Amino acid sequence: MMAWLQHQKHALTSSLRRLAAQPVATLLTALAMGVAISLPGGLYLVLGNLNQLAGNLPAQPEISVFLDADISKAQQQAIAARLKQADIAHARHVPKDEALAALSASQDLSDITAGLTQNPLPDAWVAQPQDTSRESLARVSDELKKLPGVAETHLDSQWADRLQAALAIGRTGVWVLAGLFAIALLAISGNAIRAQVLSRRDEIHVSRLIGATNRYIRRPFLYLGALQGLLGGMAAGGVLAIAGWMLHAPVENLASLYGSAFQLLPPSITEIVLVLGLTTIFGWLGAWISVNRTLSQVEATR
Amino acid sequence: MIHFSQVTKRYPGGHEALSGVNLSIEQGELVFLTGHSGAGKSTLLKLIAAIERPTSGSLTVSGQNISRLPSRAVPYLRRNIGLVFQDHKLLFDRSAIENVVLPLDIAGFDRRESLKRARAVIDKVGLLNREKANPISLSGGEQQRLCIARALVSRPALLLADEPTGNLDAGYAADIMSMFRDFHRVGTTLLIATHDDRAISALGGRILQLDHGKIEAPSA
C-alpha cells in the first residue's frame, strides 16, 4: 500500500516536471485540445442562452377566437358561456372597434387604417387555457373552432413551439459534436503521449532491465495524458471566457434594442467541473491506448 | 543458485549462441566467464536475467524456472539481480544520484530512505563528490562505477557483469575488479564475463571458458 502510494506520487511529480520542462509543447497541446473542446462547449452555452431567451417570453400561450361577421346573439352567448368553463383560465372579449383602434395606434399601420371605409376586423375573444401543454392547446383550439359562429381560431404559441423544436435539434447537435471532438481529444492526447514514449525509450529500456513492471512504466504517461486533458479543458474554458467577454457588450446592446434585459449566462460550476472531469478522463484514455501501442512497438525494436 | 541443464539458445535466423550448456553456480561464488567474442557469454548472462529465454533445456535462477516464468514475474526476478553493462546504460537526463535511485523508485521505496541508500552506495564506489553531476560529464571509469552503484543499490544476491572493464584502461579496470572482490567478500554471488586475464588472475575464482556456445572447462 505504501509502495503503491509512493509510486503514484512519484509518477505524478515526474509527469508535472515533464510538462513544466516542455512549456511550448504543453501549451500547444493544451491549445489544440482547448479549441476542440470549445466548439461543442460553445454551442452548448449558446443553446442554454437561447433557451433562457425562450423562457423569458410571455409564457402563457393564448388562443385567439375570431367570430363570424353575421353571428347571432344566441351564438355569442353560447361562446361566452363555453369560455367560462373550467379549462379556460381567463378569457377577454375584444370587440372589432377596439381591435381597429389598437391597430390604428401602432405607428406603421395608421396610414392603412385611415384609408378604410369600414372596419374589416371581426369581433374576437382572447382565451388563456388552464392547461398549456401543446396537445391540450390544440384540442381546446379545435373544440372552439367547431362552435357555431366561430370563423377561425389561432394558436399564438406556434413560434415558441418551433423555437423549442429547433433547440432540440441543436441539443442533439451538441452531443454529435461532443462525440466527434471527444475522438479528436483522444487522438491529440494519444499523439502527444506517443511522442513522449518515443523520446524516453532509453529510460523505458533501462527501467525494464532493472525490474520495472508494465504498470510502473505506463503510469507516468497516464498521468501525463490526464494532466494534459485537464489543461486542455482549462484552455477551452479560457477560449470560451474570451469569446463571452467579446460578445457581452454587443449582445446587451441588441437586447436593449428589443427592450429586453437579457444577459449572457455563464456556465454553472457543475458544468465546468463536469467538462474538466471529462477532458481529464479522455486525456487519460488517449494516453492509455497510445502508451500500450507504442510500448509494444518500442520493445519490438530492441 | 543458478542451474543450467542442457540449455540451448537459438536466435531467430538459426544462429545457435549456446548449445547444450550444463552449469551450476552456488550462492556466494565468484565466477569468470571467458571466451572469444561471439562465444555466447552475453547470451548466457541474458538468459539468467530473463532478457532472453532458452530455446530448450531447463534453467533455474534462485529456484525459479526461467523457461516457464510468466512475463509478469520477470520484473520481480530482475529486482534480485544487479546488472552491469559494458556500455553502462546510464540515463543522461538526470543526475548521477538519480540514476542510482532508479531501482529503488521502481521497487517503491520511500524517497528519503532511497536517497540515503543511494548516497551510501555512491560513496562506496568513490563518487560521492560527483553525485549531482550529469553522468555524461563523468569519465568512462566513473560511468562504469556509477553503473555498478546502480546495480548494487537494491542489495541484490546476484551480480551479473558483461565486460565491465571492456572499455577501460588498466588502472580503472584494476579499480573496478578490486571493487568486485569487496562485494564477493560480503557474500554477493558474482558472474563476470570478461577477457581481461590480468583481472582474473588477480581475483582468483572459478573460470568458465565458452567456445562456440559450449562450455570448454567446467572448472579451473
Encode A2-29: b = buried (16+ Cβ within 10 Å), e = exposed. Answer: eeeebbeebbbeebeebbeeeeeebeeb
Considering only residues A134 and A225, tell me which one the structure prediction assigns the higher pLDDT.
A225
The order of strands in the sheet holding B206-211 is B81-84, B158-162, B189-193, B30-34, B206-211, B214-215
State mean pLDDT over A66-83.
Answer: 84
Nearest-10 crossing angle of helices B140-152, B170-185: 10
Identify whether B181 is part of a domain: no
Total structural domains within chain B: 2
Same-domain pairing of B108 and B150: yes
Same-domain pairing of B65 and B92: no
Nearest-10 crossing angle of helices A269-300, A201-209: 70
The pLDDT assigned to B168 comes to 78
Same-domain pairing of B87 and B62: no
Q: Which domains does chain A have, with CATH numbers?
A: 2-57+161-300 (no CATH), 63-156 (3.30.70.3040)
The pLDDT assigned to B120 comes to 93
State mean pLDDT over A150-162.
Answer: 76
- Measured in whole angstroms, the distance separating CA B143 from the mean position of its chain's CA atoms is 15
Same-domain pairing of B143 and B196: no
A211 to chain B, any CB pair closer than 8 A? The answer is yes
The pLDDT assigned to A63 comes to 83
How close does chain A come to B131, measured CA to CA in Å? 19
At B220, the pLDDT band (50, 70, 90 cuts) reads very low
The pLDDT assigned to A300 comes to 66
Q: Which residues 15-54 of B are in CB contact (within 8 Å) with A?
A: 49, 51
Same-domain pairing of B86 and B67: no
Percent above pLDDT 70 for chain A = 93
The pLDDT assigned to A60 comes to 62
Domain boundary pick from B100, B130, B155: B155
Residues of B in contact with A6 (CB under 8 A): 108-111
A261 to chain B, any CB pair closer than 8 A? The answer is no
Nearest-10 crossing angle of helices B96-107, B111-124: 130
Q: How far is CA A40 from CA A118, A242, A247, B114, in A?
A: 56, 16, 17, 48
Count CB atoms within 10 A of the CB of residue A245. Answer: 10
Question: Are the beta carbons of A210 and B51 separated by less than 8 Å?
Answer: no
Same-domain pairing of B72 and B105: no
Which amino acid is residue B166, in one-letter code? G
Give yes or no for residue A128 having a pLDDT over 90: no
Same-domain pairing of B72 and B91: no
Lowest mean pLDDT among A27-31, A148-152, B128-132: A148-152
At A66, the pLDDT band (50, 70, 90 cuts) reads confident
Q: What domain range includes position B150?
A: 81-155
Residues of B in contact with A204 (CB under 8 A): none
Chain A residue whose CA is closest to B94: A203
Identify whether B195 is part of a domain: yes
Identify whether B186 is part of a domain: no
Averaged pLDDT of chain A: 84
The whole-angstrom separation of Cα B89 and Cα A291 is: 23
Identify whether B184 is part of a domain: no
- A285-295 pLDDT, tens digit each: 999 999 999 88
- B39-57 pLDDT, tens digit each: 889 999 999 999 999 999 9
B185 to chain A, any CB pair closer than 8 A? The answer is no
Same-domain pairing of B71 and B165: yes
The order of strands in the sheet holding A150-155 is A88-94, A124-129, A63-67, A150-155
The pLDDT assigned to B49 comes to 93
Lowest mean pLDDT among A162-166, A196-200, A219-223, A267-271: A162-166
Identify whether B179 is part of a domain: no
Lowest mean pLDDT among B19-23, B68-72, B194-198: B194-198
> Residue B49 in contact with residue B1, Cβ under 8 Å?
no
Indicate which CATH number applies to the domain containing B217. Answer: 3.40.50.300
Same-domain pairing of B73 and B99: no
Identify whether B185 is part of a domain: no
Chain B residue whose CA is closest to A302: B51
The pLDDT assigned to A301 comes to 60
> Residue A224 in contact with residue A287, Cβ under 8 Å?
yes
Identify whether B29 is part of a domain: yes
Considering only residues A115 and B131, tell me which one the structure prediction assigns the higher pLDDT.
B131
Domain boundary pick from B104, B131, B155: B155
Same-domain pairing of B4 and B53: yes
Identify whether B126 is part of a domain: yes
- B69-96 pLDDT, tens digit each: 998 899 999 999 999 998 889 999 899 9
Lowest mean pLDDT among A37-46, A68-77, B152-161: A68-77
Considering only residues A87 and A112, tell me which one the structure prediction assigns the higher pLDDT.
A87
Same-domain pairing of B132 and B69: no
- B121-178 pLDDT, tens digit each: 999 888 999 999 999 999 888 999 999 999 999 999 999 999 888 777 788 788 888 8
At A163, the pLDDT band (50, 70, 90 cuts) reads confident
Same-domain pairing of B33 and B139: no
ipTM of this complex: 0.87
Place of cell 423562457: A55
pTM of the model: 0.74
Residues of A in contact with B113 (CB under 8 A): none
